[in-house]
Structure 1
Amino acid sequence: MAIQGELGSNSHMAAVEMLGSPKDLDIVACTVSAHVLAKVIAGEVDAAVLPIENSLHGSVAEHYDLLLDLPVHIERESLLRIRHNVITMPGVKLQEVKRVMSHPVALSQCRRFLASHPEWEVVPFYDTAGSVKRLMAEGLRDVAGIAPALAASEYDAEVAVAGVEDHAENYTRFHLVRRDGRVSGEAGADENKMSLAFAIEHRPGTLVAALQRLAEAGVDLTKIESRPVPGSPWEYVFYVDVRFNSPEQAKTALIALREHCRMVKVLGRYRAA
């Protein structure tokens, strides 16, 4: 299983929650998302777990682009509650900490806690779990990382303060992604959600008409996102999630959308989390 980020990251935790205990999974950590899906396409891993949307920070735009461009599909989704923890070397007291490192998004979600410690230097880092990996590897007793609890156990560190996020209702939606043509062995009878990408002619009213087609088919539009088309200024690809009650309803929606749009791609059909 490939993930973007280090072992002990939220993506690692999402993979564990979706697919089993850490001992049952062989996690391949990658630095960038394009490398994650390259391994999926090459068959080097069975699948990948990627974040697509955070309830506070919003969508991961790069991952929408990759899902559209590459021969992969969404097989499952899950919701992970995000908990940020101050993690140090074992035995370090909070008073010893002079600097805190983490991913910029994690730091922004812990503003109130960090504001209560003005004596700390706050340093952006490439990854939440990576900050813990770094401080443990270099023996930095005056440095703390903000990361998931899994990072503490992964690198033999210690949670100094748990749950320092500003908002308890902080969730990230993850997708389990496989390469096209790979059979998972799981039945799809319980599918009730579909992710789509579509492009329309650049004329007034075409987006409204496309959404009206979905409404007439009876599906429930739960999300819409737009991304610019490279090389075509002010033109967009629209990404939507829809809920449906039956395979026939989903088929009707697809037929109606394809009659109106110049491009439609099904990114995945799966059970809603």
Structure 2
Amino acid sequence: MSLKVAFQGERGAFSEQAGYAFFGDKMSAVPLPTFEDVFKYVKNGRVDFGIIPIENSLYGSIHQNYDLLRKYNVFIVGEVKLRIKHYLLANYGVKLSDVRKIYSHPQALAQCEDFLKKLRNVEIIPVYDTAGSAKMIKEKKILDGAAIAGKQAGIYYGLKILKAGIENHRKNFTRFLILSRKKIIAKENPKTSIIFVTKNIPGALYTALGVFARRRINLLKIESRPIIGQPWNYMFYLDFEGSVADKVCSDALRELNELANYYKFLGTYEKGREVG
């Protein structure tokens, strides 16, 4: 049985690679223009799952997707940590010395900054998607330009590799989240993600985090985001080890809910493995 899985970008995108790493051959890829489209398709049941990047190990969080997790009623049901390997791709017949323009997503360009600095007389042009840059130079038959994208994009669009492994650091991973409209509570190696807003009183965040510290629950990540319409007030995204089905965790969340002005459960899912 195939599973329709939505992702932002063109075929060959890193999100698609992460999807195949998680779902295997059961995945039927559904490329979409924007991250918000992915959330809408999941929420409306037009796909079985969605996959979004949430954090890069070198360059931090994708804040737009944190905000969309708050906005849409979908659940996190899995994660995968994909090794990001960047390739300089070009049409056949193009040599590195021919390249005068390099296209890619701004984050990919940043992740390859050390390589790009070594080039001379080359214009760096940001575009909306890594795989989209590969598709563009193929469809437009650009012979003085190259794209930075994943190897799979090169295979998919019939491009050759001018240079492999051009990322700044080999330990370059992006963490992707699997989204579903249905809540699925993982039993093996679980972690849980939530959102909460503290009351505007001294020590509120300290007290909120204390509900986990007293129960010796290991916190994995905390991320703050501004509350739209309330300048200088913030909501917190929190990941911790354990399941909402465990009494110690459910007791902590019940106490937190009593302390907080706002609380939202995002999901209990299996910790993702590193792939690629």
TM-score normalised according to structure 1 size? 0.94
Give the aligned partner of residue 222 of structure 1.
Answer: 220
The answer on whether the counterparts of 1:191 and 1:269 sit within 8 Å (CA) in structure 2 is: no
State the shift of 1:213 in Å.
Answer: 1.1
Per-residue CA distance 1:98-152 (angstroms, 9 max, x = gap): 1111111111111111111122111111111111100000111111000000101
State the shift of 1:191 in Å.
Answer: 4.5
Distance 2:158 2:238 in 1: 41
Matched, 1:14 2:12: no
Count residues with an aligned counterpart: 267
Report the secondary structure of 1:71's partner residue: coil
The answer on whether the counterparts of 1:3 and 1:29 sit within 8 Å (CA) in structure 2 is: yes
Kindly provide the amino acid, as one letter, of the partner of residue 213 in structure 1: V
Kindly provide the amino acid, as one letter, of the partner of residue 20 in structure 1: G
Kindly provide the amino acid, as one letter, of the partner of residue 193 in structure 1: K
Give the aligned partner of residue 130 of structure 2.
Answer: 128
Distance 2:110 2:179 in 1: 28
- Greater shift in the superposed pair: 60-69 or 44-53: 60-69
Distance 1:188 1:233 in 2: 37
Report the secondary structure of 1:20's partner residue: helix
Matched, 1:174 2:173: no
Kindly provide the amino acid, as one letter, of the partner of residue 13 in structure 2: S
In the TM superposition, 1:129-148 aligns within 5 A as 129-148=131-150
Structure 2 alignment gaps of length 5 or more: none
Structure 1 alignment gaps of length 5 or more: none
Distance 1:180 1:188 in 2: 13
Give the aligned partner of residue 32 of structure 2.
Answer: 30
Give the aligned partner of residue 199 of structure 1.
Answer: 197
**Structure 1 residue runs of 4+, over 2 Å off?**
none
Residues 48 and 149 of structure 1: CA distance in aligned 2, closer, same or farther (over 3 Å): same
Per-residue CA distance 1:219-243 (angstroms, 9 max, x = gap): 1111111111111111111001001
The answer on whether the counterparts of 1:217 and 1:252 sit within 8 Å (CA) in structure 2 is: no
Distance 1:164 1:131 in 2: 16
Kindly provide the amino acid, as one letter, of the partner of residue 64 in structure 2: E
The answer on whether the counterparts of 1:217 and 1:256 sit within 8 Å (CA) in structure 2 is: no
Give the aligned partner of residue 65 of structure 1.
Answer: 67
State the shift of 1:96 in Å.
Answer: 1.5
State the shift of 1:188 in Å.
Answer: 2.6
Distance 1:214 1:177 in 2: 25
TM-score normalised according to structure 2 size? 0.93
The answer on whether the counterparts of 2:88 and 2:164 sit within 8 Å (CA) in structure 1 is: yes
Per-residue CA distance 1:193-225 (angstroms, 9 max, x = gap): 000100111111101100111111221111111
State the shift of 1:154 in Å.
Answer: 1.2
Kindly provide the amino acid, as one letter, of the partner of residue 33 in structure 2: T
Matched, 1:258 2:260: no
State the shift of 1:256 in Å.
Answer: 2.1
Report the secondary structure of 1:234's partner residue: coil
- Greater shift in the superposed pair: 244-253 or 232-241: 244-253
Report the secondary structure of 1:141's partner residue: coil
Report the secondary structure of 2:268's partner residue: strand
Distance 1:262 1:196 in 2: 14
Report the secondary structure of 2:271's partner residue: coil
Give the aligned partner of residue 187 of structure 2.
Answer: 189
The answer on whether the counterparts of 2:77 and 2:186 sit within 8 Å (CA) in structure 1 is: no
Give the aligned partner of residue 46 of structure 2.
Answer: 44
State the shift of 1:70 in Å.
Answer: 1.0
Report the secondary structure of 2:186's partner residue: coil
